[in-house]
Amino acid sequence: MNPLNRDARLAGLLYLLVVLIAPYRLIYVPNALFVSGDAAATIARITMHETLFRIGLATDLVCGALMAFVALALYRLLGDVGRRHGIAMLLLGGALVPALYFFNVINDAAALLLAHGGNALAAFDPPQRAALAMLFLRLHGEAVGAAELLWGLWLFPLAMLVLRSGFLPRLFGYGLILNGLAYLIQSIAWAVLPGWRDMLSSMLGPLQFVEVLFMLWLLLLGARPGFRQAQAASVTPTRA
């Protein structure tokens, strides 16, 4: 296996791990433990299923670390294509996105501390602690809306590198731009038009599968030196 192909498959594998792990805290934990409009019931479920909740906390930490390694792997693969775009991708995807993951863990940790109570929180009665815990859980969800801005921005320099690479399909470059725009629109809607967020998520959701398809291409097919030239040759008419 040539080094380029090896780097592509490593990036794809790390990317796959993020795709598989991230939904646990993002989707599964809220559906399993959170009771809409009932802080006391939510806190009761968290304390009853604390291990499940703590695994969600851990998955945010793991995803943050993995995103840093994904960006590093992609930089190793594509950094020589364009140094400035590579550094921008590394800064946005490998530093700022992980930082938001790590910061958001604090919200879950605070909710867990409030659920347990203890001497340090004796000044708060149970309903107050439950309300504060729900506030931190809500902040975790709101931070995801803010994080979508960075999820979108880091895809733009990545898309430019893919377009210029010569060893990855240009179609993925254009697709990643659309994927990034979808994230940006959703983040702006979260901030300005929260009532439209669910509708826009349903409309723009299919565009976000481009990232998944790109990850699968890297993992299964890797990078192919001369891919662009071979593709061009296949459509060039031959003369009799």
Q: Does residue 123 sit within a domain? A: yes
Tokens 């930490």 correspond to 61
Per-residue pLDDT at 195: 82
Q: Does residue 198 sit within a domain? A: yes
DSSP state of 237: P
Q: Does residue 240 sit within a domain? A: no
Tokens 């938001």 correspond to 100
Q: Does residue 196 sit within a domain? A: yes
Q: Does residue 64 sit within a domain? A: yes
pLDDT tens, position by position, 95-104: 999 999 999 9
Q: Does residue 147 sit within a domain? A: yes
Per-residue pLDDT at 199: 85
pLDDT tens, position by position, 155-184: 999 999 999 999 999 999 999 999 999 999
pLDDT tens, position by position, 176-225: 999 999 999 999 999 998 888 788 888 888 888 999 999 999 999 988 77
More confident residue, 85 or 239: 85
What is the rounded end-to-end Cα distance, in angstroms, of the chain?
37
The model's pTM: 0.86
Considering its fold, how many domains does the chain have in total?
1
Per-residue pLDDT at 142: 93
Per-residue pLDDT at 210: 94
Instruction: Choose among 104, 210, 107: nearest CA to 152.
Output: 210
pLDDT tens, position by position, 119-130: 777 778 888 989
Q: 103, 143 in Cβ contact below 8 A?
A: yes
Q: Does residue 125 sit within a domain? A: yes
pLDDT tens, position by position, 21-63: 999 999 999 999 999 889 999 999 999 999 999 999 999 999 9
Q: 4, 223 in Cβ contact below 8 A?
A: yes
The token duo for 163 is 């377009």
More confident residue, 148 or 197: 148
Q: Does residue 47 sit within a domain? A: yes
Distance CA 219, CA 231 (A): 20
Q: Which domain holds residue 194?
A: 3-235
- Is the pLDDT at 231 greater than 70? The verdict is no
